[in-house]
Amino acid sequence: MFESGSPMKARQPLYTAEERVRRDSTPWTLVQGILAPVQFLVFLVSLFFVLRYLATGEGWALATGSVVLKTLTLYTIMITGCIWEKVVFGRYLFAPAFYWEDVFSMLVLTLHTAYLLALFTGALTASQLMYLALAAYATYAINAGQFIWKLRMARLDMAHRDAVARQPGLAA
């Protein structure tokens, strides 16, 4: 599967050896590992409340509170993620390995922040706020998919590295 001359396109590993050591030794990796599923759970619950409000007109306070909570969890994971990225890659954002995920994260943050601003200024109706929340959630779902893909790539890199270490005849 990883042999020389394989039709698989060669690509840079996600982490250098030094970055992998920093990733594995920082407590921020564990923080991210805990916050990501927590944020996803908050997202799912909030999505239910938002959709229920749009379908029935009931549960405005629950839907609104859940979007605010989702936004706060997003801010938390973004701040801690910036710290993680600084420790691992030496910069707070836009490290080459996560450049496009960080770019898209800015859109996710913008839409979530727009929701809060519209909520606190009364700039949108209740339904408009919920549709804005859905737009923010759609971008979040795409961004979460980007990070899951990167996690998969990191695992494939590790499997490749381990295979190379076990079989000296394989190309690195």
| Sign of the alpha-carbon torsion through 44, 50, 54, 58 | positive
What is the pTM (predicted TM-score) of this model?
Answer: 0.81
Report whether 80 contacts 32 (CB < 8 A). yes
CA–CA gap between residue 120 and residue 38 (Å, rounded): 25
pLDDT tens track, the chain, 172 positions: 444 444 445 567 778 889 889 999 999 999 999 999 999 999 999 999 999 999 999 999 999 999 999 999 999 999 999 999 999 999 999 998 889 889 999 999 999 999 999 999 999 999 999 999 999 999 999 999 988 887 777 677 676 666 656 666 555 4
Q: What confidence score (pLDDT) does residue 103 get? A: 94
Q: What 8-state DSSP symbol labels residue 96?
A: G
